[in-house]
Amino acid sequence: MKTLGSFNQLMDAYLLRARLEDSGITSFIRDENLITLDWLYSNAIGGVKVDVADEDYERALELMHEP
């Protein structure tokens, strides 16, 4: 697994995850529960992370940077 991106707000991570899964790439959101409990922890732990499988990383990176 590789981390594709890190976000301060949970909604941004969900939007990326939806875009990836719409393109057939399975993704996972990490540290979601901690941020939900107290959003102030976001900066301390580096935000909410979106992870993808190693073999999907390059394609996911391209999708992430498309307008």
Domain boundaries, the chain: 2-65
| Distance of alpha carbon 8 from alpha carbon 41, whole angstroms | 9
Q: Which residues of 23-62 are buried (b: 16+ CB within 10 A; e: fewer)?
A: eebebebbbeeebeeeeeebeeeebbbbbbeeebbeebee
Give the pLDDT confidence score for residue 60 in this predicted structure. 96
| Distance of alpha carbon 48 from alpha carbon 60, whole angstroms | 17
pLDDT digits (tens, 9 = 90+) for 7-64: 988 899 999 999 999 999 999 999 998 888 887 888 889 999 999 999 999 999 999 9
Give the pLDDT confidence score for residue 39 in this predicted structure. 79
Specify whether the CB–CB gap between 27 and 8 falls below 8 A. no
Q: Specify the CATH class of 2-65 in words.
A: alpha beta
pTM: 0.86
Specify whether the CB–CB gap between 44 and 6 falls below 8 A. no
